[in-house]
Structure 1
Amino acid sequence: MTPAPTAGKEAKAKFAKAIEEAKAGASALGTQVQDTAGAYREKMVDQGEALIEEAKAAAGQAKEKAAALAQEGKARAVDGIATVSKLVAENAPVIDEKLGAKYGDYARSAAKSLDQTAAKLEAKDLGELGDDAREFVRKSPALAVGIAAAFGFFVSRLFRGSPKSDD
């Protein structure tokens, strides 16, 4: 019956060795998991930075495109105002004949005012125009909304009424 205590000691030693091996394996696995997580973290940070750079580049391109479109819109507005001014001025003599000199003078005055407005608009850069618009809206918000609504209605009627070209 002496072999039983030796077998118990051997079992305990084997069990202790197995526990030590399991601890060592768990420690090695933990280190490997931390290394892998660190590598993934670095990869994600790099990808995030790359995405941020791409977004900044796209925003810059969009800003340039918007500035170009705004400049084109400003030029078209100046041309449109100048065209209306010219039409009013050219029709002032007809107004003189049909309605009287007083109304013809009103037309000439309106044409002159439109010319001045076109010149002022052309002389200002987009930043100044934006500042002017913000100041106008701050001073007269109801009037600004009314003008925007009227302008929107006018533009929609203008484009709805124009024939489409096949060119």
Structure 2
Amino acid sequence: MPPREPELPEGTDQIVAGASAEGNEGSGGFVARASNGGARETTDRLVTQARDQIATLRDQAGEKIRAYADDGKGKASGLLEELGGVLTDAARSVDTRLGEQYGEYAHRAAGAVSNLAGRVREKNVDDFVDDAKEFVRKSPVVAIGIAAVAGFALVRLLRTGLDDVSRVGRPRDED
């Protein structure tokens, strides 16, 4: 790098003709200078554009999240319906093996799971969000406990998955 001339400001390698704001008023260089609030108008316009872009991205993200939530809701209700069917079959088996007295409990459990599946299917995502907000307002301590347990379970799941990925290709240790 060539030696710098002493009159240049720090970080400048060379003088560009017309780029100085002092004394070179119509020299054709690029100088950011406001005239009659032009910079303010430009700044306002850029801020407005940024806000519009943020609002658009937020709306798009909300739509994607809602679509994923609807898909998850459909899968959950399907799984609950299948579980209800399995419990109904198990209740019939209990009826024949142990008697209807014990089978009644299994039938109630199967009915409860089937009812839950129907409620999940009928509700929309906004209803679930509202229910969750109401639950947190009514029982914040329980909500924090549930969040802590869910977080712990998620971390354990991720660690197990990462441990499994790191073991791929390595010989298994014999205990």
Per the normalisation by structure 1, the TM-score is 0.61
- Supply the AA of the counterpart residue of 2:125: L
Tell me the percent identity.
31
TM-aligned CA distance change 1:150 to 1:38, over 3 Å: closer
Aligned to 2:76: 77
Q: Specify the code of the residue in structure 2 equivalent to 1:61.
A: Q
Aligned residues: 130
Note the alpha carbon deviations across 1:17-74, whole angstroms, 9 max, x for none. Answer: xxxxxxxxx9x99xxx552x83333332222222111111111101111111111121
What does residue 17 of structure 2 align with?
none
How many Å separate the matches in 2 of 1:73 and 1:52?
31
Q: Which letter does structure 2 place at the counterpart of 1:122?
A: R
Alignment of 1:1-167 (within 5 A): 34-35=34-35, 38-147=37-146, 149=149, 153=153
The C-alpha deviation readout for 1:92-113, integer Å capped at 9, x for no partner, is 1233355543332111111111
SS at match of 2:37: helix
Structure 1 residues 34, 138: CA separation in 2 closer, same or farther (over 3 Å shift)?
closer
| Bigger helix share | 1
Paired with 2:103 and 2:152, the residues of 1 have a C-alpha distance of 29
Greater CA radius of gyration, 1 or 2? 1
Structure 1 pair 115/64, CA: closer, same or farther in 2 (3 Å)?
same
CA distance in 1, matches of 2:151, 2:40: 53
Unpaired runs of at least 5, structure 1: 1-25, 162-167
Q: CA RMSD in A?
A: 3.5
Bigger RCO (CA 8 Å, 6+ sep): 1
